Amino acid sequence: MDKLEITGGIPLDGEVSISGAKNAALPILAATLLADGPVTLGNVPHLNDVTTTVRLLRRMGVEITLHDGRTIEIDARNASRFVAPYDLVKTMRASILVLGPLVGRFGQAEVSLPGGCAIGSRPVNLHVDGLRAMGADISIEKGYIRARTKRLTGARLVLETTTVTGTENLMMAAVCARGESVIENAAREPEVVDLANCLIAMGARIEGAGTDTIHVQGTDRLGGAAYGIMPDRIETGTYLVAGAISGGRVTAKKTRPDHLDAVLQKLEAAGAAIEIGETAVTLDMRGARPRSVDIRTAPYPGFPTDMQAQFCALNAVADGTSAITETIFENRFQHALEMQRMGANLRIEGNTVICHGVDSLTGAPVMATDLRASASLVLAGAAARGTTLIDRIYHIDRGYESIEEKLANLGAAIRRLPG
Ligand code: EPU
């Protein structure tokens, strides 16, 4: 297993190009199952989760051509096996995103239940309940969700909890249903909007994506399209925190600053000067130590849970005492325990981490437990005295494209040690 080795204490300086968003690419790849013609996707990030999704689609009989590095052509007209097997779903929960398109277009699906994961129990009951409300006959057998229907019927779906992939699955199911569907308490994340825009390019009739009420008029058929995936707001935020934690100056290019309001506000509160362009954000810490910031995660446009771990690293070396409260997932503080091993002074109280910032962390061997936890340990390593060795970085390769190259370009002393 590969490891990452990072020696801290260097203020990062320079520009980093942001890749396409993982959490937009995954639902959009699943959405190609709905098209009755080839779909060409641009700005597709090079990530293990994308490779897993491509493998999953190919197993279903979908034809996929990889063009230049970032363009993929997908033709689902000959899809014939409507199964997402356990061996793939267990490595990537987002495989659940094929459920809505399969039931919507082909009237059948067998998708392995994802089960729990490192950050919480993460049930998918709302995905299943929504499809049932649209008329799908669903049973849970031997760890699989088995769904059948002649054709889904539009319905009013009130989501009890805001769920990102739940909203996406139901929106994808609804585009092929008979009649109108309304999704209430829908997730407002930019990735939901990106998916809706791609579906609209394929001929879907969707209104209200980005608000908490989405209206979908079902159509008989969606066609091919060409669509470019939005930039990754979490990758952007992660590199900006890298600049802040190291006292440096980092420009994230090819991004969407308007997707990062809550994160940029917290970086400013931490003492960073932020300059916003149309497609770039520059963070300048001017060599200063960050100030502690209190965080409470919330669905978009609130502070993203996917940036919580990175801010935990920032608070670990910041001036002052902070509280980070995680409201989305029940067990998303594994990184905090690893940071303690690097000398962080923090304690977990229920769903809050109380952190007294220390002058500096010390490099140590640490273990990555999930994607964002791994990123936060890289950031902690960039701020620490000495060398940090991060194990199990397959987590990071699921969601950050070439992280060691991008950080090295900013001046970090980082390298991958093949395992
Ligand atoms: N929930 C339910 N029932 C459901 C679905 C969700 O109770 O049927 C609960 C969850 O347990 C959780 C809350 O609702 O407490 C919100 O979870 P959500 O469904 O929104 O999460 P998700 O769709 O599984 C996506 C991202 C995550 C991100 C969350 C929250 C993708 C592929 N994944 O997950 O991304 O943390 O939204 O923003 O879009 C990551 O990229 O590292 C990552 C974990």
Q: Give pLDDT, residue 116.
A: 66
Nearest residue to 310 (alpha-carbon basis) of 244, 375, 360: 375
Strand ranges for 329-402 from DSSP E: 345-349, 352-356, 365-367, 387-391
Measured by CA distance, the residue closest to atom 14 of ligand 1 is 163
Give pLDDT tens digits for 161-177. 999 999 999 999 999 99
Q: What is the pLDDT of residues 218-277, one digit of tens each?
A: 999 999 999 999 999 999 999 999 999 999 999 999 999 999 999 999 999 999 999 999
CA dist 44 and 86 (Å) reads 25
Q: Which contacts qualify for 204-212: CB closer than 8 Å, 24 or more apart? A: 204/34, 204/175, 205/175, 206/171, 206/175, 209/171, 211/186, 212/162, 212/184, 212/185, 212/186, 212/188
Active site residue 198: no
Task: Write out pLDDT tens, residues 372-398.
Answer: 999 999 999 999 999 999 999 989 999
Least-confidence region, from 16-20, 331-335, 357-361: 331-335
Report pLDDT for 109: 98
| Single-letter residue type at 273 | A
- Token pair recorded at residue 48: 């293990």
Structure confidence by residue, pLDDT tens digits, 276-317 = 999 999 999 999 999 999 999 999 999 999 999 999 999 999
**Ligand 1 atom closest to Cα of residue 300:** 38
Which of 29, 52, 111, 122 to mutate for ligand 1's pocket (most ligand atoms within 8 Å of CB)? 122
Q: How far apart are the first and last CA of the chain?
A: 4
Q: What are the pocket residues of ligand 1 if the criterion is a CB atom closer than 6 Å to any ligand atom?
A: 23, 26, 94, 120, 122-127, 161, 163-166, 187, 191, 305-306, 328-329, 371-372, 399
Mean pLDDT of the chain: 96
Tokens 């002074």, residue? 345
Residue 120 pLDDT greater than 80, yes or no = no
Positive or negative, the Cα torsion across 184, 352, 283, 239?
negative
Whether the predicted pLDDT of 68 surpasses 80: no
Residue 1, pLDDT score: 85
Q: Of residues 121 and 251, which shows the higher confidence score?
A: 251
- pLDDT above 70 as % of the chain: 100
* pTM of the shown model: 0.98
Q: Which percentage of the chain shows pLDDT scores above 90?
A: 94
pLDDT category at 119 given cuts 50, 70, 90 is confident
- Length of the chain in terms of residues written: 419
What is the mean predicted confidence (pLDDT) over 315-320?
98
